[in-house]
Structures are given as structure tokens and as C-alpha cells.
């Protein structure tokens, strides 16, 4: 067979890539924007930020319960476009409410929940759509390119966000993100490749869909430890999601611009990781690379609560953590996603993604609420130490899987 066409010459993939580039750039504005709005405009407490994080990431649990069969039974591109439009509509309500003088924590909570739910459904459909668009033989390359775009967005997005929040205030800066989702929908609508008809899936109750997603995932010994890591990372990552912005702004006394620049270095680390995913997999083997990079990412999180309460030095240590943590976690994520897309049956990818979203979202919901409340009781720094230590649990459990350790080349597993 002739070698596959380079993805940079594939017009439809380039449109998907452009759509993702625009929307992820804006999403980085919202990721910091909603917590900043809560902290700087509405005076949120640690427990309140725990609720906000739970509403942002918790929808992964509920959409994961219902969305897998929904994605597998229909064309995926219309789902991608619809979720972009939903996110744009939800976000534009925040600056409108601020302009009218009606903005409240309830408004921010509602926007976070709607955007979180739509984003999860988008991710599930995107995960299932990519193999149909480019073929399984180009998945590592495709996932690396998409991850690189997310890294560039994180590199520039938070720095721009910090500037926009300082100049326009956070609620009005979020309007920029609403526009990016509209532009993303336009790019997706321009894809011309005819999507294959979904494999026949008999209508069944959502419980059966979810059960099948978990069953097909758990039955594959190379994917099973990835599900365990997802659940553990959600539990303790929820604590970081709830408290990181508060820790940086109040404990370390970073300004919004300083925080934006700090997070942008994470984008640089992620960009490096996206470029290194394939070479690291070739060097270490895909399975060992997934495990080693997950452990390294967890270890780098310990630097965050070690940061001193001095803006410049604290910012410097956070930057080191962002560089190390994001580069290693992206290598892990690119390889783990590619492994799932190749070894699981294509017609079950939506339901399998639903199982992952439900596992990660459910534990993140619990972690955000529990660790957010714990931060109010024992302190933000102390709680971040607990969360950082907990992030190592998933990779350590996954190390016991001989099937994952033996995976060397992901492309060969697709044959």
C-alpha cells in the first residue's frame, strides 16, 4: 500500500486542526476567566471555588453516563458543531449579565456547568471522529498535532487572558471565548470528507450503553490501567482545579498578568511534550512511556505547594512545575489516547470515551468538593500537598499491569 498522505496536506484534517486551534485558545481564557471572575469580582472562598470546579468538571460524569451511545449512533461532526454553538451561547451570557449589573455567582456556576457539559460531549465525539477522518495509521501523528495546538493555545492564551482580565475585567474578557467557539463551528462546517455511516447500534437504555463502555474498556488489559489512572487523577486533580488559582492569587499574591504568564509556560512545556511523544514512545516503548510520564507529571505537582509566599520566587517555582508537569502529562495523554483509539473496536469508541469521562468526571466532582472544603478547614497550601501526593496513586497502581508495560509500538497494535 502507498504511504499515507501527510496530515498537513489533508485539507479536512487541517480544518479540524484550525477549529481546535481557535476554540482551545479561547478555552484557555475561560479556564482561568471563570475562577478569576469568582475571586476578583465576586470574592469567592475556597469552598466556593470547589463548587465552581465541580460544576466545570463534574458534567464529565453525567455526560459520560448518557453520551457514549448518543455519539456512537450518529455522525460525529454535527455533534462537534452543535456543542461549539452551545458553548458560545452559554459564555456570552456572562459579559451580558455583567454589563446589565446582574452578574452573580449563580450566573458563573450556570455558565461553567453548561460549558463543561458541552465540552465533554465535544471531546467524546472528537475522540471517535478522528480515526474516521484520518485512519488509524496516522493517529499518533494526528493526536500529537492536536495536542501541540492545545499547547500553543496554553502558551499564548493565559498570558492574553491575564492582560484582558486586567484591562477589561474578567467577565468581559470571556466574550472573546464565545467568539472563538463560533469560528470553530465555521471551520468544522467546512469539512468535506463524507463521514462513514455509524455502525448499527441497537437502541438501548443509557445504563446498558455505559455498562458496555466500561465492559469493553475493562476487558482490554492494555486499556484497563488507563481507566484506573483516569479515575485517580480525577479525584486529586479536582483539588488542584479548585484551589490553584486561589493559591496563586491570594497566597503567592500573583497579579492576573503574572498568573497568565505562569500558566503560559505550561503551554510551552505541553508543546515540547507533544513533539516528544512519538520519539519517547520509540525510545522507551509506548506502554512504559505512558507510565513513566504519568509518574513524572505527578512528582512535578509537589513543587506547587512548596512555592514560597513571595510573588517573584513563587512564580518561578510554579513555572518550573508547569514546564515539567505539562510536558510529561501531554506525552502520557497523547500515547494513552492513541492506544485507546487503536486497540478498542471503532464502533465502541464513543461508549468507551463515555466510560472514561464518567470515571474521571465523577471522581473529579468528589475531589473538587471535598478538597475545596478541606482547603477552608486546614488551609489551601496543606490541601495542595495532599492533592499532589494523591496524583501518584494512579500511575503506581497502573505499574502493576504487565499488559500495558509490554506495549511497544501503538501502530502495530492496530493491525
The per-residue pLDDT for range 336-376, each reduced to its tens digit, is 988 888 888 877 777 788 788 788 877 887 887 888 888 88
Q: Which residue in this structure is represented by grid cell 496563586?
A: 248
How many domains does one find in the chain? 1
Task: Give me the CATH number covering residue 187.
Answer: 1.20.1250.20
User: Which residue range forms the structural domain that includes residue 252?
Assistant: 9-192+204-413
Q: What is the pLDDT of residue 36?
A: 67
- Quick one: pLDDT at residue 288? 92
Q: Is residue 147 part of a domain?
A: yes
Do the domain assignments include residue 49? yes
In a domain, 134, yes or no: yes
Average pLDDT over residues 277-290: 89
Indicate the pLDDT class of residue 166, thresholds 50, 70 and 90: low
What is the pLDDT, as a whole number, of residue 115? 85
In a domain, 197, yes or no: no
What confidence score (pLDDT) does residue 229 get?
Answer: 92
For residue 90, being part of any structural domain is answered with yes
What is the rounded average pLDDT of the residues 255-278?
A: 81
Q: Is residue 349 part of a domain?
A: yes
- The torsion defined by the Cα of 85, 131, 335 and 120, in degrees rounded to 10, comes to 20
Q: Which of 282, 305, 283 is nearest to 390 (CA)?
A: 305
Is 291 domain-assigned?
A: yes
Q: What is the pLDDT of residue 295?
A: 92
Task: Confirm whether 53 is domain-assigned.
Answer: yes
Kindly tell me if the per-residue pLDDT of 217 is higher than 50: yes
The pLDDT of residue 224: 92
Amino acid at each position: 500500500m502507498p504511504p499515507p498522505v501527510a496530515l498537513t496536506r489533508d485539507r479536512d484534517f487541517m480544518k479540524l486542526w484550525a477549529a481546535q486551534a481557535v476554540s482551545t485558545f479561547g478555552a484557555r481564557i475561560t479556564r482561568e476567566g471563570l475562577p478569576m471572575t469568582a475571586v476578583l469580582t465576586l470574592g469567592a472562598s475556597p469552598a466556593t471555588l470547589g463548587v465552581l470546579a465541580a460544576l466545570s468538571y463534574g458534567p464529565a460524569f453525567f455526560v459520560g453516563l448518557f453520551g457514549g451511545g448518543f455519539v456512537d449512533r450518529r455522525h460525529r461532526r454535527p455533534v462537534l458543531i452543535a456543542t461549539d454553538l452551545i458553548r458560545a451561547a452559554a459564555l456570552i451570557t456572562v459579559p451580558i449579565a455583567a454589563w446589565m449589573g446582574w452578574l452573580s455567582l449563580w450566573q458563573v456556576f450556570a455558565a461553567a456547568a453548561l460549558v463543561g457539559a458541552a465540552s465533554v460531549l465535544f471531546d467524546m465525539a472528537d475522540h471517535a471522529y478522528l480515526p474516521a477522518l484520518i485512519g488509524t495509521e496516522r493517529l499518533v501523528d494526528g493526536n500529537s498535532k492536536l495536542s501541540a495546538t492545545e499547547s500553543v493555545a496554553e502558551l499564548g492564551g493565559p498570558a492574553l487572558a491575564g492582560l484582558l482580565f486586567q484591562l477589561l475585567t474578567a467577565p468581559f474578557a470571556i466574550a472573546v471565548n464565545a467568539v472563538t467557539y463560533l469560528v470553530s463551528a465555521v471551520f468544522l462546517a467546512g469539512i468535506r470528507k463524507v463521514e462513514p455511516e455509524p455502525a448499527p447500534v441497537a437502541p438501548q437504555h443509557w445504563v446498558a450503553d455505559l455498562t458496555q463502555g466500561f465492559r469493553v474498556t475493562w476487558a482490554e488489559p492494555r486499556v484497563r490501567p488507563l481507566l484506573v489512572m483516569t479515575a485517580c487523577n480525577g479525584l486529586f486533580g479536582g483539588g488542584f482545579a479548585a484551589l490553584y488559582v486561589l493559591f496563586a492569587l491570594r497566597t503567592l499574591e500573583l497579579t492576573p498578568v503574572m498568573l497568565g504568564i505562569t500558566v503560559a509556560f505550561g503551554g510551552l512545556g505541553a508543546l515540547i511534550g507533544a513533539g516528544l511523544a512519538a520519539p519517547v514512545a520509540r525510545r522507551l516503548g509506548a506502554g512504559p512511556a505512558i507510565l513513566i510520564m504519568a509518574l513524572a507529571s505527578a512528582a512535578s505537582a509537589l513543587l506547587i505547594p512548596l512555592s514560597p509566599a513571595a510573588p517573584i520566587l513563587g512564580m518561578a517555582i510554579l513555572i518550573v512545575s508547569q514546564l515539567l508537569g505539562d510536558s510529561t502529562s501531554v506525552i502520557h495523554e497523547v500515547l494513552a489516547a492513541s492506544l485507546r483509539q487503536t486497540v478498542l473496536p471503532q464502533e465502541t469508541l464513543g461508549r468507551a470515551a463515555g466510560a472514561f469521562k464518567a470515571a474521571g468526571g465523577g471522581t473529579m466532582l468528589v475531589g473538587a468538593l471535598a478538597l475545596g472544603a478541606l482547603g477552608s478547614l486546614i488551609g489551601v497550601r496543606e490541601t495542595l500537598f495532599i492533592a499532589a501526593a494523591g496524583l501518584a496513586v494512579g500511575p503506581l497502581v497502573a505499574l502493576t499491569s504487565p499488559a500495558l508495560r509490554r506495549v511497544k509500538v501503538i501502530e502495530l497494535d492496530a493491525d
